[in-house]
Every structure is written in C-alpha cells, then in structure tokens.
Structure 1
C-alpha cells in the first residue's frame, strides 16, 4: 500500500478560523483576515505533522447551484449567505493553497464532499488509501478499509470500526442513516421522531435502507421500543426518506479538472511573499514553506 493521499474539506477549517479568531486581525488594507490567518496556520500544522506526498483541497462554490438544490430547493436554505468579508478570505485561502503548489478543486455543480468522494475513488483505483481531513460526519461514508476520517481539531482519527462505534452503523450505511434521521445542518428532511440512534437500530436489522423500505410491515415485529408506531412513521414518510437519500449520498463521479495532479509541487516563493504581505502576517506566521 502506498502512503495515503490527504483530501481536505477546506471550508470547515476556514469557517472554524472565522469563528474562533477575532475580526480585529486584518490585512494591510484593513479588511478582516482572521479566517485566512487561521487557515494558514492550519495548513502549516498539517503539512509539518503529516508530510503528505499527495494532497488536495476541496472548496465549495456551489452554494445554491448544486445538483442537490435542483432536487430539493430547500437544501441548506437554513444557512445565511456568507458575508463579503468571508468570501474575500476564501479567495485568499485558495490563492494561498495554489501558491504553495498544492492541488485544489471546486465546482458550481458538485459540492466539496462530492469532489472529495470522486478523488477518493480515483486514488483507491490506483492502490492508495485516503485520509479525509474534516469535521463533517457526512464524509465518514467514504471511509474504506485502510482509510481514515480525521478531525485534527478534535484529535479524532477514525477507521471503519471507529466510525461504526461512533455512529452505530458501518460507513456504507451512513447515508441511509442520515436519510432516515434527516440532517438539520443541511436542512434535509427525515422522519419526525427518528434520530440517528433509532435509524442505526433499524439498519442493523435490515442492513440497507432499500431493504427496510421493501418490507415496512416487518418493522412492527422488530425488538425495538415503539416498533408499531415506528412502522407507521416509516410508511407515512417513505417518499421523504427516498428524497433525502438522494441528498445524503456523496456523488463519487463528479467532473474533475483535466490533468489534475495531487503530488506536491514546489511553492511559488514570490507569490507566497506577496500574499503574506497582503494578509499582514506577523513574522511568527511567515513559515519557511520550502522546508515543510
């Protein structure tokens, strides 16, 4: 097995820095730069600790335009639009990754999760395991044997067995679990009164959502508290669950840029220097990127 490929769910780390660091951190022009500063530090820590030979950063640009919105217009409608100050910082973060010589991808049609899923499938075809760097439980559905789901901020590294212990289902059942329970974060409907734990109990007895929906009357005979009521709920909300399943599954055949190379390239020192000046990074944050 080759060394693993690191696939970064970039947006979550930009948002974490945006909320964690004060807006008094500004660029040379006085605009907030807290998220960009935090992201630079995150990338430095990641590269220094892991020394990945292959790595890619996935960014979201499909807000309101992804194929999921076409299926369900209310998808993620509960989220307020990103302020201009944050959009500007996302641009700096992408520019920073590019200047470092690291691959990055985005799409107006597919979300970062789909791009990561597509990259993970491609890497596995070439005999490589992947490390999914994220804090999003949705991406745990992509974890195969030898892969890891890793949230560096919480020091959690989960293999398939760790995911099953945490969520109560195997990685390949996570999308089914989310379809049954719904996902408030993404405004995905589920079955009222059915949470992740109950969804896990159902799937442990039927294995797949498809099998569960093919024999709904059997739910009444399961050794689950309130089984008859649960059967009625599943039957009533069957169409909702089937729609939700189209939203919770990660699309692993997204379009990728031609010739995309995940191997690290040498940083562009001049571009990095200009960007560090623009962000007004202090000397303690101006790392020697050639040595990492």
Structure 2
C-alpha cells in the first residue's frame, strides 16, 4: 500500500496567498517600502507544508486572472462579483511563483484555465500515465472535491483537516463525482454561478441520489413529474423552465480534467530548496531572515538524518558480510 509520502500533492496556491493577504498585517514591508505580507506568509506556508507532508511529489497551481478564463466566455458574469486584485497583490503573487520554484516546487499557471482545472488535469494525468500513488488536494475549496477518487485525499492545511474521497458524502451529501452537478443545481454564490430558484442543497442531493447524475435527471425529467418525491411536480416545473441556466451552470462548475499540464510527470518530484537562491531572494526583499534561519536549520536536520540512515545501512551491510564470511568458514 502506498504511503502518504508517495501521494501527489496538488496545492491550490491562491487559497494560501489570499489567506496571507487577509491575515498578516501590511506593515510587513520590503526594502523599498512595499507590502511583503503575502510573500512572507506564503513562504511560511511552503516551509510548513514541506515539513508536515514530507512529500516526494507536489505541484503549486496558481490562478492567473478573474477575466480571461474560458468560463468567462461561457458567462461574462462568472466571478464578476469579485473585485480585481490590487496591483500590490498582483506583484506579490508574481514573486510567490518565483519563491515556489526556489522552494523546489513545480509551478503551473494559465491565463485560460484556473488552478482548479490544472489540479483536476494533473490528477487525471497521474492516474492515466501510471504516476503511482494517490492524489492529495491541498485546498479549502469545495469545488475541488469533485476531483477526488475514493482513496485520494483532501487536506485543509490551515485547519489540519484531512479526509479521503470516500468521505465526500459526509461533507456534501453527494459522491465526489456528483459535486459539479450539485453546484450546478444549487448555484455557487462565491463564483457568481446561478442555480435553480427554489431548489436547495438537500433537494438537489436527493435528486442526484435518485437519478444518479444531472444528465440522468434531464433524460428522465418526465418521470419526475409524477414521482413520489415530495414537491416533485414543482421541481419538474422549475427544471423545465430553467434548463438553459442549468446547462450553463453545469459548464461552469465542472472542472476540466483533460489538459496536458505536464508532459513529463517526473518533473513533479520536489527538488531540495535552493537555500542560496532563497537567501538572495530574501536579502533583496529585505525581510525573511527568520524564515531563512528556520529553513537552514530544517535542511541541516534533514541532511543529518539522511547521512545517519546511509551510515546505518553501510554498517548493517558490513556486519552482514562479516557474518556471512564467518558462516562460510
């Protein structure tokens, strides 16, 4: 059985960028007097993640824009309720991509596809190309639950809440593969996706349990009209009158999984942090001395541990050879 260390950790970077932006004071400044709270907080997260996960393979997936996603072509109102990121935040996000690379992470971003799509596609590539191990999605975004297979995991790192894909029904009331359908029916206010009026999460989950999928529901819509489910006739009318909305919302909630994000999955292996490069990065920034000191200490401990293991193995091999020679005499 594969260990958690063998999992492919797919990190929704935006969650941790915005967490740093809103939780750390903008009094954290760089040498030029510009805010550096996001950079500092993201660096802290990456260090804590590497230590807590002991991951071999991972990827940082970034969102590029609120207005250039293919979903904006489907519906111009998609995420229109969100303000554009201020220039100061955009500058720090760009720096965080460089920071991620220096920390040894493969970094991915696209102007057309969101981080969710990159994560969904990398998860699919990992399964289809024999990448080995399970997938662990590191995020707080419920949309990403649809990416999980039963043995995969979802990790809310900030709260240290971690659960397998098989437990998605406990969280959402539906199976992981039904999450996009659920969100299409109920809508998602966070992303400005409209749902069906008068149908909430409980009813939507009941419909999906009965008809298995949104496609199954629409194929059998006439059956719903006379179904024994309480309110079935009313639901039939709502769905019939809003099929166009439902179809559009489904296209918005479904995460793309067919992209070739990385041609060589061997590149998903984490490299050792570039300590010298990080020293220069934070020296130019004018902050982060404590982070660098912490990184050096953790790197030193890791190196000592590896050296100790190698020495132990060599000693064990020598002892085994001696015992073998004695036995042959």
Please report the TM-score for the alignment, with normalisation by the length of structure 2. 0.84
Unaligned runs of 5+ in 1: none
State how far apart, in whole Å, the 1-side matches of 2:164 and 2:263 are.
31
Pick the aligned partner of 2:290 from 281, 284, 289: 284
Residue of structure 2 equivalent to 1:138: 143
Residue of structure 2 equivalent to 1:20: 23
State how far apart, in whole Å, the 2-side matches of 1:45 and 1:222 are.
52
Residue of structure 2 equivalent to 1:30: 33
**Range that drifts further, 227-236 or 107-116:** 227-236
Residue of structure 1 equivalent to 2:255: 250
Residue of structure 1 equivalent to 2:317: none
Residue of structure 1 equivalent to 2:96: 93
State how far apart, in whole Å, the 1-side matches of 2:7 and 2:227 are.
41
Residue of structure 1 equivalent to 2:125: 122
Residue of structure 2 equivalent to 1:204: 209
Which has the larger Rg?
Answer: 2
Alignment of 1:5-84 (within 5 A): 5-84=8-87
Please report the TM-score for the alignment, with normalisation by the length of structure 1. 0.94
C-alpha root-mean-square deviation of aligned residues, in Å? Answer: 1.7
1:285 deviates by 2.0
Paired positions, count: 292
State how far apart, in whole Å, the 1-side matches of 2:206 and 2:227 are.
10
Say which SS state the counterpart of residue 128 (structure 1) adopts.
coil
Residue of structure 2 equivalent to 1:174: 179
Residues 252 and 210 (structure 1 numbering): CA distance in 2 closer, same or farther, change over 3 Å? Answer: same
The 8 Å contact of residues 110 and 254 in structure 1, kept in 2 or not, is answered as no
**Range that drifts further, 259-268 or 55-64:** 259-268
Q: Pick 1 or 2: higher relative contact order, CA cutoff 8 A, min separation 6.
A: 1
State how far apart, in whole Å, the 1-side matches of 2:35 and 2:11 are.
24
State how far apart, in whole Å, the 2-side matches of 1:223 and 1:234 are.
17
1:25 deviates by 1.0
Greater helix share, 1 or 2?
2
State how far apart, in whole Å, the 1-side matches of 2:264 and 2:127 are.
17
